[in-house]
Amino acid sequence: MTDKNRFDEYFLMQEEDAVEYVKKKLNFFEDTSNLQCKEIGDGNLNYVFKIVDKNTGKSLILKHSGEDTRAKSGRKLNIDRNISECKILQMQGELCSGYVPVIYMYDEIMNCYAMEDLSDYKIMRKALLENNIYKHFAQNITTFMVNTLLPTTDIVMDHKKKKEMVKQFTNIELCDISEQLVFTEPAGNFLGENTVIPAMSKFVQDNIYKDKKLRLEIGKLKFNFMNNTQALIHGDLHSGSIFIDEKEIKVIDPEFAFFGPIGYDVGNIVANLLLAWGHGYATIEDSKEKYDFLSWLEQCVTDIIDIFKEKFNKKYKTEVTDLLAKTDGFDEYYLDSILSDTAGTAGLEIIRRIVGIAKVEDITSIQDEHKRAEVEKILIRVGKEFILNRDQYKTGMQYVQTLKKFVN
Ligand code: SR1
Ligand code: MG
């Protein structure tokens, strides 16, 4: 193939190709004589190239999808998922300006898109592992969720347009991953691929895999996830999908997005803060630092639920268009179902990140196995309570009360 049409047909790009691509396809860099590229992706699915002009420091990110997962799981994925992700980021940028990266261009052939480089921010999971406190987080994440989720429901959006969007953003493969990794496998370890540390083996058998009541409730949550096309959700809103600094957040990676239950996003946020709590609980030695970090996380979980409700109710009043959804009491009925899904999802996400195949560093980086087992037991008990009693979780404080119930 000649150089001229190198990018006219999809291939999996390497660092040198990404530089070449940017030179040929983008007018972003004034001077392309000293571009440097590094592949910095640390997720499970995509390739993320950071390209810097070494003369000026100007930079961008080029995100590119391959046909296989990076972990060579054998799972084939549609390479055009990147383009859906990019369109969703653009839409979220319109609904909640400044809360997602700026998109410079996308390419439906090479299945890549170029966006703002967020290297001045930190990935929130990493920042939480350093015990950093972000007092603005509850306000910012609730703004993002309410502003991007409520407008894509059909109590706000035109019903027909929403159904078209459901078609457009049906995400068969990535939803299949979530259905297996978040719901089915954590409930029963049917494929035998889940792993836990030896000290947790019996506990997990007895408290998760043998618990048929829990399995029933996880089953109900799974089919709600699959059939409740409530809003265009992010679908993987954990602390690794958020860039953060002292003032702002930027939400990234909506590749798991689809029309699903709003509480799935809210619950993911809550769960990942509690996983960070687990890391702090097990690893921070200085008592003041430990108290400050854990208290902030507890307050943050409380605030996220309460502020989400407040902002949701406010926006509901001004934006809902459906005539029946304006009936007195419908708002409460609607929010109640979101809160139940939130608690259920928080429980699921906590449990699957401990027993499932997609674990999180918050837990795996705890070196002391005794402490790790202690914290895993606390979190699994908390997660089960959230799932089994999800209809009762109406305020933020209740989440922290449950956590405290299981800490000695
Ligand atoms: C094969 S993908 C594994 C996990 O990584 C993503 O971030 C999702 O959370 C998924 O479950
Ligand atoms: Mg991701």
Structure-block tokens of residue 47:
């390739």
Residue nearest to atom 9 of ligand 1 (CA): 236
pLDDT tens-place string over residues 159-214: 999 999 999 999 999 999 999 999 999 999 999 999 999 999 999 999 999 999 99
Measure 314 CA to ligand 2 centroid, in angstroms. Answer: 30
The confidence score (pLDDT) of residue 77 equals 83
Specify the pLDDT at position 69. Answer: 72
Confidence of residue 45 (pLDDT cuts 50, 70, 90): confident
Regarding the domain with residue range 122-405, which homologous superfamily does it belong to in the CATH classification?
A: Aminoglycoside phosphotransferase (APH), C-terminal lobe (3.90.1200.10)
The rounded Å distance from CA 31 to ligand 2 centre is 32
Please tell me the predicted confidence (pLDDT) of residue 3.
55
From atom 8 of ligand 1, which residue's Cα is the shortest distance away? 236
| Ligand 2 center–CA 360 separation, angstroms | 12
Alpha helix positions (H), 72-151: 81-95, 124-129, 137-149
Instruction: Report how far Cα 311 is from the mean position of its chain's Cα atoms.
Output: 20
Orientation angle between helical segments 369-388 and 396-405, nearest 10 degrees: 130
Amino acid at 168: Q
Rounded distance from Cα 321 to ligand 2 centre (Å): 33
Q: Which pLDDT score is estimated for 103?
A: 98
pLDDT digits (tens, 9 = 90+) for 57-100: 999 999 999 887 766 566 778 888 899 999 999 999 999 999 99
SS3 at position 49: strand
Please tell me the distance between residue 358's alpha carbon and the centre of ligand 1 in angstroms: 6
**Ligand 1, CB cutoff 6 Å, lining residues:** 43-45, 69, 177-178, 181, 236, 358
Q: Which atom of ligand 1 is nearest to the CA of 71?
A: 1
Dihedrals phi, psi of 46, to nearest 5 degrees = -120, 170
Q: Which ligand is nearest to the CA of 268?
A: 1
- The reply to whether domains 3-116 and 122-405 share a CATH topology is no
The residue whose CA has the least distance to atom 2 of ligand 1 is 44
Q: Is 406 left (phi over 0), alpha (psi -120 to 50) or beta?
A: alpha
pLDDT tens-place string over residues 301-327: 999 999 999 999 999 999 999 999 999
Element at 22 (helix H, strand E):
helix 15-25
Domain 3-116 part of CATH 3.40.50.800 = no
How high is the pLDDT of residue 72?
58
What residue segments make up the domains of the chain, in order of their start? 3-116, 122-405
